[in-house]
Amino acid sequence: MKILIIGAGGVGIGLGASVASQGADISIYARGKTAEAIKENGIKRCGLFTHYEINNVPVYEDYDDIPKNYFDYIFIASKTTANTDIADKLKNHRDILKDNTKIIIFQNGFGNDEEYLKYFTKKQVYCARVITGFTRPERHISEVTVYTEPILLGSLQNENPECLGEIADLITSSGIKCETTNEVDKYLWAKMLYNCTLNALGAILNFTYGQLTENPYTLEIMNSIIDEIFEVINASPYRTLWKTPDEYRDIFYSKLVPDTYNHYSSTYQDLNNKIPTEIDSLNGKIIQLAKEYNINVETNEFIYNLIKAIESNF
């Protein structure tokens, strides 16, 4: 099985090491110092679960150099801010794909398949819900820092996800449980609730997820974000795993946040590194849908505007 991984951050390297440890033939698209580090050192997965070290990983810095008619799967593990460019590059280099190549998007946010569906069919484009925490302590190393639930693979276009079973099996065999599901949309919205409530607010205040739950002022903000998102979900054709905001809050405060108490969000890391965040795919997506359904989401808008103001100073 031949897999091209686009996006050599913590998620991409972690997934690459996972499937390669079980015999998959992986290649990575990376550039600059990251490409140099992988060429020199290979890739490693450490932290929770089994540690793996994969040497001699092919690295491509230019799409023109990627082998033609070669890959069975393409993993998109980049920041969502790169989706328009990646989709365009794949359209212009579609000869690197086989006729039945599957694209799996391992990203935060909702609706990330839209850019790829402009050029590829519904039977080619799939999404993953990843709630496992990956960080990148060095450019070629992924550390698994948090695990709460399995990685889930499926289609937002109602395609049968059974074709992804072999990928789920590889990741599971590497030590991180992974499953296919016909309800990936519900789970992605569950993650949207989690990320939109915690990521930006924690980044703005330099708080861990746990610290956000111990302050009455941040609790009020988070509860408002949750209420607004449920209003958007209920007005839209989408659904999630809980029927009411209170039902979600019960598990959010009792399990989801305690399991990730010491975690700093990816948004926090992006702001510290002075790079654009994924806010448009998170709270920005809530705002986009709210406008479509005429819903007031002023708390999400306020958080979104604060992140955009910080970014504008980079």
What residues make up the domain containing 43?
2-181
d(CA 111, CA 157): 11
Looking at the structure of the chain, the number of domains it has is: 2
d(CA 113, CA 67): 24
- Same domain? For 48 and 67 the reply is yes
The residues pairing with 75 across neighbouring beta strands, listed in sequence order, are 5, 104
- Same domain? For 172 and 193 the reply is no
Which among 163, 181, 199 is the end of a domain?
Answer: 181
**136: domain CATH number?**
3.40.50.720
pLDDT of 168:
98
Which among 120, 146, 181 is the end of a domain?
Answer: 181
- Same domain? For 155 and 208 the reply is no
Q: What is the CA radius of gyration of the chain?
A: 19
pLDDT of 52:
98
d(CA 158, CA 287): 25
- Same domain? For 32 and 105 the reply is yes
69: left (phi over 0), alpha (psi -120 to 50) or beta: left
- Same domain? For 146 and 235 the reply is no
pLDDT 10s digits, 118-151: 999 999 999 999 988 899 999 999 999 888 889 9
pLDDT of 146:
83
Which among 161, 181, 201 is the end of a domain?
Answer: 181
Residue by residue, pLDDT tens for the chain (314 residues) are 999 999 999 999 999 999 999 999 999 999 999 999 999 999 999 999 999 999 999 999 999 999 999 999 999 999 999 999 999 999 999 999 999 999 999 999 999 999 999 999 999 999 999 988 899 999 999 999 888 889 999 999 999 999 999 999 999 999 999 999 999 999 999 999 999 999 999 999 999 999 999 999 999 999 999 999 999 999 999 999 999 999 999 999 999 999 889 888 989 989 999 999 999 999 999 999 999 999 999 999 999 999 999 999 99
- Same domain? For 237 and 101 the reply is no
Interaxial angle between packed helices 283-293 and 216-235, expressed in degrees from 0 to 180 and rounded to the nearest 10: 50
48: Cβ–Cβ under 8 A, 6 or more apart, which residues?
A: 144, 145, 146, 147
pLDDT of 186:
96
**244: domain CATH number?**
1.10.1040.10
Active site residues: 191
Number of other CB atoms surrounding residue 211 within 10 Å: 16
- Same domain? For 9 and 152 the reply is yes
- Same domain? For 154 and 67 the reply is yes
- Same domain? For 120 and 251 the reply is no
- Same domain? For 171 and 193 the reply is no
Contact 48, 78 (CB under 8 A): no
- Same domain? For 165 and 191 the reply is no
Contact 210, 261 (CB under 8 A): yes
- What are residue 178's phi and psi, to 5 degrees? -145, 140
- Same domain? For 106 and 154 the reply is yes
